[in-house]
């Protein structure tokens, strides 16, 4: 039988999760350069054993083999479900079938466990956020931390180990290594992940951070990516990402077919840069969302540059603005540049999209075909105005 490496990440806490290095799309949207992991942890508590979260569909056999390697599956007393999403909860019915365990989860988690995974309600215990569960020499404490990333989410804390099991919060899409020290891009990966999953819920993130501020945390164990032994960088960065604070930074997002809009995007980017603004130039036609997601957290300005296509923005610009709105990107000030062949109609759609995303529009330039001298001047002027507003904030 295959022998798995099962690292002990803290005293009597074992990593039994799965690595998925070849996964290239998450949520059918996000490109994953490093794959991801589905972290699960087995806690030997002295008298009782608890399993914290499980793994994604397809990994259940490997998962059960790992559990059998490290313990008698019949002796798993509790399965803690911090989050009911399939990437962490789909193996729950397999563990419940193989063991007499009780499922511990939040009130909303209980309904989801029954509905999504067919868990018998008689085997579900809703946790009391004011009480602990004694495992013998270790205790489980639960923290109500909803909307990170679904409404039922919660955290689990073991004071004896000073370890926080935070579900998707503090996660990152990284498949290699176990600890933050094994990974050279842990914080940038966590920042992209935050943008892709948590940004719409940053106010809930702030509430959760306030709640855990009183805990003594030595290890942060999320459900994706590295386990943090050096906890300050992830806790402090996450607090900044949740704060909604923006930088003197602008994203110039463009689509182009014949190059005119691309040229105009570069002109305004140069103009902003010459005023000291940090610029990210993004060709919506060939850039992955994951390459710019982190910039949605803290860019104060947005320039949308698009040709007119069938009376509207380029479809990639429409998609991008939809993402900006849904993910509650931080942009405060915007500018619009459109190119058209015979009728000015894209600007109206771009302006509507910016307004619904609560972005204050400082101006727009409409250009017939590729830009001429006077268009270039107008674009440079628009860049300077936007830069001034970004700096004034």
Ligand X SMILES: Cc1cc2nc3c(=O)[nH]c(=O)nc-3n(C[C@H](O)[C@H](O)[C@H](O)COP(=O)(O)O)c2cc1C
Decide if residue 21 touches ligand X (CB under 6 A): no
Decide if residue 342 touches ligand X (CB under 6 A): yes
- 40 Cβ partners below 8 Å, 6+ apart? 15, 16, 17, 18, 51, 52, 53, 54, 55, 63, 88, 91, 223
Number of residues counted as binding Fe ion (CB under 5 A): 4
The residue from 36, 54, 82, 308 that contacts ligand X (CB under 6 A) is 308
Ramachandran class of 384: left when φ > 0, alpha when ψ lies in -120 to 50, beta otherwise: alpha
| Residue 388 φ then ψ, to 5° | -60, -45
How far is the C-alpha of 183 from the C-alpha of 124, rounded, in Å? 37
CB 268 to ligand X: min, Å: 13
Q: Which residue's CB is nearer to ligand X, number 81 or number 264?
A: 264
How far is the C-alpha of 163 from the C-alpha of 112, rounded, in Å? 26
Residues between 27 and 86 that touch ligand X (CB under 6 A)? none
Nearest residue (beta carbon) to Fe ion? 85
Decide if residue 307 touches ligand X (CB under 6 A): yes
Q: Are 67 and 42 in contact (CB under 8 A)?
A: yes
Ramachandran class of 74: left when φ > 0, alpha when ψ lies in -120 to 50, beta otherwise: alpha
CB 302 to ligand X: min, Å: 18
Helix (H, G, I), strand (E, B) or coil at 136: strand
- DSSP category for residue 194: I
Residues between 81 and 110 that touch Fe ion (CB under 5 A)? 85, 87
Q: Which residue's CB is nearer to Fe ion, number 223 or number 338?
A: 223
Helix (H, G, I), strand (E, B) or coil at 342: coil
Decide if residue 129 touches ligand X (CB under 6 A): no
The residue from 48, 94, 149, 202 that contacts Fe ion (CB under 5 A) is 149
CB 109 to ligand X: min, Å: 48
Residues between 370 and 389 that touch ligand X (CB under 6 A)? 370
Q: Which does 311 bind (CB under 5 to 8 A by kind): ligand X, Fe ion, none?
A: ligand X
Q: Which does 309 bind (CB under 5 to 8 A by kind): ligand X, Fe ion, none?
A: ligand X
Mark the segment that binds ligand X (CB under 6 A) among 4-12, 33-41, 167-175, 256-264.
256-264
Decide if residue 311 touches ligand X (CB under 6 A): yes
CA distances from 148 to 12, 28, 36, 344, 357 (A): 27, 19, 18, 42, 22
Q: 102 - beta bridge partners?
A: 78
CB 313 to ligand X: min, Å: 10
Residues between 258 and 297 that touch ligand X (CB under 6 A)? 258-261
CA distances from 47 to 43, 68, 75 (A): 11, 18, 10
Helix H or strand E segment including 212? helix 202-212
How far is the C-alpha of 28 from the C-alpha of 68, rounded, in Å? 33
Q: Which does 129 bind (CB under 5 to 8 A by kind): ligand X, Fe ion, none?
A: none
CB 351 to ligand X: min, Å: 16
Q: Which residue's CB is nearer to Fe ion, number 62 or number 278?
A: 62
Q: 25 - beta bridge partners?
A: 31
Q: Please give the residue ranges that form the binding site for Fe ion (CB under 5 A).
A: 85, 87, 149, 168
Binding site for ligand X (CB under 6 A): 256-261, 307-311, 339-343, 369-370
């Amino acid at each position: 039988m295959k022998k798995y490496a099962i690292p002990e990440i803290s005293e009597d806490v074992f990593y039994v999760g799965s690595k998925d290095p070849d996964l290239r799309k998450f949520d059918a949207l996000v490109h994953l350069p490093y794959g991801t992991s589905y972290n699960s942890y087995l806690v030997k508590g002295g008298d009782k054993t608890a399993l914290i979260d499980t793994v994604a569909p397809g990994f259940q056999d490997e998962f059960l083999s790992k559990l059998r390697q490290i313990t008698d599956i019949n002796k798993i007393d509790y399965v803690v479900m911090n989050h009911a999403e399939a990437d962490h909860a789909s193996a729950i019915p397999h563990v419940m079938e193989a063991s007499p365990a009780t499922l511990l989860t939040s009130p909303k988690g209980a309904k989801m466990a029954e509905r999504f995974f067919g868990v018998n309600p008689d085997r579900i215990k809703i946790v009391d956020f004011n009480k602990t569960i004694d495992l013998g020499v270790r205790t489980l404490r639960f923290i109500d931390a909803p909307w990170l990333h679904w409404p039922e989410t919660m955290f689990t804390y073991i004071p004896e180990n000073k370890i926080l099991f935070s579900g998707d919060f503090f996660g990152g899409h990284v498949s290699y290594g176990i600890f933050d020290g094994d990974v050279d891009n842990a914080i940038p990966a966590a920042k992209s992940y935050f943008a892709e999953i948590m940004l719409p819920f940053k106010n809930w993130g702030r509430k959760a951070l306030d709640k855990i501020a009183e805990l003594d945390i030595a290890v942060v164990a999320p459900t994706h990516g590295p386990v943090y032994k050096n906890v300050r960088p992830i806790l402090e960065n996450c607090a900044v990402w949740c704060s909604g604070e923006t930088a003197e930074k602008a994203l110039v997002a463009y689509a182009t077919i014949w190059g005119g809009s691309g040229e105009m995007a570069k002109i305004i980017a140069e103009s902003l840069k010459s005023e000291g603004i940090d610029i990210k130039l993004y060709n919506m036609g060939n850039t992955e969302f994951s390459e710019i997601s982190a910039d949605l957290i803290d860019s104060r300005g947005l320039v949308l540059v698009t040709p007119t296509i069938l009376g509207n923005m380029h479809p990639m610009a429409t998609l991008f603005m939809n993402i900006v709105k849904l993910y509650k990107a931080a942009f405060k000030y915007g500018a619009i540049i459109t190119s058209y062949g015979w009728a000015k109609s894209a600007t109206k759609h771009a302006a509507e999209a910016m307004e619904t995303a609560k972005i204050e529009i400082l101006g727009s330039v409409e250009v017939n075909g590729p830009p001429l001298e006077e268009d270039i001047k107008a674009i440079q002027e628009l860049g300077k105005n936007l830069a001034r507003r970004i700096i004034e904030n």
